[in-house]
Each structure stands twice: as structure tokens, then as C-alpha cells.
Amino acid sequence: MERLKFYADTPRGEKNKYFCFKINSILDLEGRLIYWLKKGMYIRSAWYESIDEETGLIQNQKIDLVKFVDERQVLFTKE
């Protein structure tokens, strides 16, 4: 099982709200991050979580958001 988790300030004024989404692949992770950034979320911290269903081992990998945005050259205009 894989998840995208992040803390973000929302356009409605909520501060440091926690979000967790099941994802199917790294491409799904990228698409969801881009979606939420375009919706005006100020993402403070994000990470990818993978759980090995056989062993129960949980692995977390922090996402470097600056690098993520720079590599994709995404223009973030609110939708």
C-alpha cells in the first residue's frame, strides 16, 4: 500500500491541516501533488509512505517540494 501524506495551509484559512491519500503509483503521487498545489494549497511538508503488506514494514520518504516544482516547470495558477 502506498500513500501521499502532507501538511498544508488551505485556501479557506485552515493552518497546517493533515492530508492522507492512497495512491497507485509515483505518477499518481505527482498528479495529486500538482492538483493540490494548483488549488492554492501551501504545502508545508510532504512525504511518500510505502507499507510492505507481507512484513508490515513502513518506509517514509520526504518529498523535496522545491525540487519537485523546479523539475516539472509547473505553472501554478489557481483554478
Residues whose CB is less than 8 angstroms from the CB of residue 8 and which lie 6 or more positions away in sequence, other chains included: 16, 17, 19, 36, 41, 42, 43, 44
pLDDT value of residue 55: 93
What average pLDDT does range 24-53 have in this prediction? 90
pLDDT value of residue 76: 53
Residue 75 has pLDDT above 60, yes or no: no
Average pLDDT, the chain: 87
What average pLDDT does range 26-43 have in this prediction? 88
Residue 50 has pLDDT above 70, yes or no: yes
**Structural domain boundaries of the chain?**
2-72
pTM for this model (two decimals): 0.80
